[in-house]
Structure 1
């Protein structure tokens, strides 16, 4: 850092004076960050990362290829998002994209914090949906998938009762996809499985299905088709009576939209119009 020891000590003292508290404990082995110090370090790293992203975006805008965009997606919408991104970067090869897969609640909190430019999720889970601009992007159809060696993989028609005895891989409680499954079990007057495998990760879901041919998983039809197209799973012939909520394209209300985000938003809306 091209700083002398006294210079570094003085700089640290000035920083601690600004915060009004010590950030490091002085020991005979050097400086050790305290709890507040760890907090400040974490945010300093975020700021450093943001500055790097700022440089990428400025360079991208100057070169005319859109810069950088950070987008979030719930698990079921990942094929939709990645397809749009693949098409986008083909036309703008210098563009940088960050993809975050998580629950709607986490993605909305990241939008609130400015960590994401946009997300494909649902605002209905939020207590403050008025804080967001959203567009219904695509209806979600759910499917049950399993290992190609699952005992019922070649069945022609199945009911929920046929699958009630198997171990389910599902979203965690209170998520829209999980609530739909619980409603289906309740309407069929079947006890909801007690021993579940809960995850929001596509990779974890796929890995579990590959490791144990008796597991079944609830995913979006787009995810199911992608898995099946790669020969990794098989969709089971179970039809749900309930309809899931549509995916929404969500941005923070009133927040500026970067050039890269606008390009991706246009790509996603264009894909929706093409499927209409």
Structure 2
């Protein structure tokens, strides 16, 4: 079935109750628990899913033993339904806050790199323009922020986007990011003039979680050196946890140069003269093309990019 045929059929036949049922199955893992949560019988839930499968032209579940599991199509539908729920929740919050006389809410997610300058200044500008606006800021890795954006939890993410997502998301580059190798001020190598990455392999390491872009760059670096990724890692996306750990130990970590410079200026860490050959891809702002942005979210993007209009071709607003 072509997309031009499927879309009108879905608009005519898709019901919010079906969306709620699929979301409940995703939360609880079984149709029985999902139907109980929604106050419906299991046969009624089964019939509802069959109607949805008929509208989509694909099976969403397959039987495994006495239970059922999502098919690849079902997993895809669940992901998009979570995005729908996030959009509806965001709309509901905004309407409620407008009714109370506030200026709404903007949810922003960001990687560490823009925090000291770009993100801080954009938020300050946003609050000057909208004093009553509530602003939620989540700091995490690009891959985790992307999931929050896809589920509708975030209005704007600042990070990196994979090429396969370009069609559905608007990406506007901000800056390139260089990495710095850092240690505590008490580290034996803290005052060395020359340090090779290979000489640090005997120390404990703190790295970003597996799957994050920064972690992938470092693993490429280790492969070039023909050495394995250090064992016994501490994995965290928290800059506070990282700086606290290197302050109390001889562990080594890697963080964006802008963050490292800010902390080094305050005497909280040392940046080692250790060059990382592989470069990070540019980070930038990411928004969903299918989700309208509030006036405040649009203002934030303009402030972030320091220009009046930042919307790429295809952005819906």
Q: TM-score, normalised by structure 1?
A: 0.73
Which is further off, 167-176 or 126-135? Answer: 126-135
1:30-109 pair list within 5 angstroms: 51-56=92-97, 59-61=101-103, 67-79=104-116, 80-109=118-147
Which residue of structure 2 lines up, in the alignment, with residue 259 of structure 1?
295
Q: Which digits, 9 at most, give the CA deviation of each residue in 1:221-268, with x for residues without a partner?
A: 111112112221111111111111111210001321111111110111
1:195 to 225, 232, 236: 232
1:209 to 246, 256, 269: 246
Partners in 2 of 1:175 and 1:211 — Cα distance?
Answer: 25
- With over 3 angstroms needed to count, the CA separation of the structure-2 counterparts of 1:270 and 1:20, relative to structure 1, is same
Which residue of structure 1 lines up, in the alignment, with residue 160 of structure 2?
122
**Higher-RCO chain (CA-CA 8 Å, sequence separation at least 6):** 1
The 3-state SS of whatever aligns with 2:284 is: strand
Matched, 1:184 2:221: yes
Which residue of structure 2 lines up, in the alignment, with residue 138 of structure 1?
175
Unpaired runs of at least 5, structure 1: 1-15, 23-43, 62-66, 272-276
Which is further off, 143-152 or 50-59? Answer: 50-59
Which residue of structure 2 lines up, in the alignment, with residue 41 of structure 1?
none
- With over 3 angstroms needed to count, the CA separation of the structure-2 counterparts of 1:83 and 1:164, relative to structure 1, is farther
Partners in 1 of 2:111 and 2:154 — Cα distance?
Answer: 13
Which residue of structure 2 lines up, in the alignment, with residue 39 of structure 1?
none
Which is further off, 82-91 or 102-111? Answer: 82-91
Aligned pair count reads: 229
1:20 to 40, 43, 57: 40
**Post-superposition offset of 1:75:** 2.8
Which is further off, 189-198 or 216-225? Answer: 189-198
Contact 1:68 1:96 in 2 (8 A): yes
1:175 to 196, 212, 220: 212
Contact 2:143 2:212 in 1 (8 A): no
Partners in 1 of 2:159 and 2:102 — Cα distance?
Answer: 27
**Post-superposition offset of 1:93:** 2.8
Contact 1:169 1:217 in 2 (8 A): yes
Which residue of structure 1 lines up, in the alignment, with residue 7 of structure 2?
none
Q: TM-score, normalised by structure 2?
A: 0.65
Unpaired runs of at least 5, structure 2: 1-35, 43-84, 308-317
The 3-state SS of whatever aligns with 1:75 is: coil
Q: Which digits, 9 at most, give the CA deviation of each residue in 1:35-54, with x for residues without a partner?
A: xxxxxxxxx9x988874453
Partners in 1 of 2:131 and 2:140 — Cα distance?
Answer: 26
Contact 2:186 2:247 in 1 (8 A): no
**Post-superposition offset of 1:162:** 2.0
Contact 1:57 1:68 in 2 (8 A): no
Which residue of structure 1 lines up, in the alignment, with residue 26 of structure 2?
none
Partners in 1 of 2:265 and 2:98 — Cα distance?
Answer: 36
**Post-superposition offset of 1:151:** 0.9
Contact 2:204 2:252 in 1 (8 A): yes
